[in-house]
Amino acid sequence: MNEFEKFIEGRYGPHDQKQNKHDKTIKHIEKELALFDEAGLSFELEIEDLAEKTEDLLKKRQAQHDPS
């Protein structure tokens, strides 16, 4: 390795290390966001299911109390 290559490596080596750390952090955040989105979707589906069951139960009880 010549002097110029050593200079470049010394100059940009720390930058590359910071960039690698940044890339790992971004990947971790993206993974966490994907898990959060998945949990949110699952929760949304559970809420919709509960709402349907509640509406069905309400209609059934209204039909029992409303003889018309």
Residue type, 40: G
Do you know the residue count of the chain? 68
pLDDT tens figures, 33-52: 999 999 999 999 999 999 99
Q: Digits of tens for pLDDT over the chain (68 positions)?
A: 788 787 877 778 888 889 999 999 999 999 999 999 999 999 999 999 999 999 999 999 998 887 66
pTM of the model: 0.61
Instruction: Compute the C-alpha angle 34/50/53, nearest 5°.
Output: 150
